Amino acid sequence: MAWQQHHRRTSAKIRRLVDPSLRRPLLATNTFDDFVKQRADRARQSSKALNSEERLADWLRELDDLYSDMEAYLESYTKSGQIKVERRRVELSEDYLGTYNAEALAISIGNDEVIAQPVGTLLFGCRGRVDLRGPRRDLRIVLLEKGGPVGKITISGTGGPTETSSRSLVRGEVDHRGWYFVTRPPDVTVTAFGKDSFRDAIMNVSTEFPFLRS
């Protein structure tokens, strides 16, 4: 009896090898639709990974440029030994980018330390953000495209025309792509990052009362 069952199983295997109609498909898909979907999904994943690598590389370059400007604006003080500047490695984690290494910039003035701490690049309304953290308060520095973030409102009625309006989400002029100091919502005001605004910001985060340039 056991011999007969073994013989039937062996005969069935032989028939599947000889008759193509009895063979199981080599692919783990049941239909051509599944096959196409698998290939399309793989292509999208590869494209997303490539875009993420480019975005991360751009972000790290922008950080390096920002810190280089900060170092240049303080160079006369670092040469005299009044200010010490040090780049420190930090670890960040973002959706789609994963965990990666970046740099923060530590500025020591007397007993005070001010740190330019990167927050991330995948943020709403900007291409990246760095927080300037001092003993008294923090300020935000964001990377904006020319024109700044814009909100659009679309109004459509049944059978009527569609109206679309847009307005800037920030107050102040964003006349070039670059770094800007921004105040916190709801009334977001921008100030271009530069030598004077950076030095003012250091005083603002370090002193009890915010510094106001006359």
DSSP 79-133: HTTSEEEEEEEEEEEETTTEEEEEEEEEEEETTEEEEEEEEESSBTTBSEEEEEE
**Distance between CA atoms of residues 187 and 207, nearest Å:** 23
Q: Is the pLDDT of residue 25 over 70?
A: no
Q: Is the pLDDT of residue 15 over 60?
A: no
Average pLDDT over residues 170-184: 91
Within 10 angstroms of residue 198's Cβ, the number of other Cβ atoms is: 20
What is residue 51's predicted lDDT score, i.e. its pLDDT? 82
What is residue 40's predicted lDDT score, i.e. its pLDDT? 75
Weakest-pLDDT range from 13-17, 73-77, 117-121, 200-204: 13-17
What is residue 14's predicted lDDT score, i.e. its pLDDT? 43
Q: Which pTM does this prediction carry?
A: 0.70
3-state helix, strand, coil in the chain (%, to 5): 35, 35, 30
Within 10 angstroms of residue 130's Cβ, the number of other Cβ atoms is: 26
What is residue 155's predicted lDDT score, i.e. its pLDDT? 66
**Distance between CA atoms of residues 170 and 126, nearest Å:** 11
What is residue 198's predicted lDDT score, i.e. its pLDDT? 97
Average pLDDT over residues 76-91: 98
- Domain boundaries along the sequence of the chain: 31-206
209 Cβ contact list (under 8 Å, min separation 6) = none
Confirm if 114 and 205 have CB atoms less than 8 A apart: yes
Q: Which two tokens stand for residue 160?
A: 């009527």
134 Cβ contact list (under 8 Å, min separation 6) = 112, 113, 114, 115, 202, 204, 205, 206
Q: Is the pLDDT of residue 27 over 50?
A: no
- Each residue's pLDDT tens digit, 110-121: 999 999 999 999
Percent of the chain with pLDDT over 90: 50
Hey, what amino acid is at 12?
Answer: A
Sign of the torsion angle spanned by Cα atoms 213, 195, 92, 119:
positive
Confidence of residue 152 (pLDDT cuts 50, 70, 90): low
What is residue 24's predicted lDDT score, i.e. its pLDDT? 47
Torsion of CA 132, 139, 119, 77, to 10 degrees: -20
Q: What is the CA radius of gyration of the chain?
A: 30
What is residue 165's predicted lDDT score, i.e. its pLDDT? 63
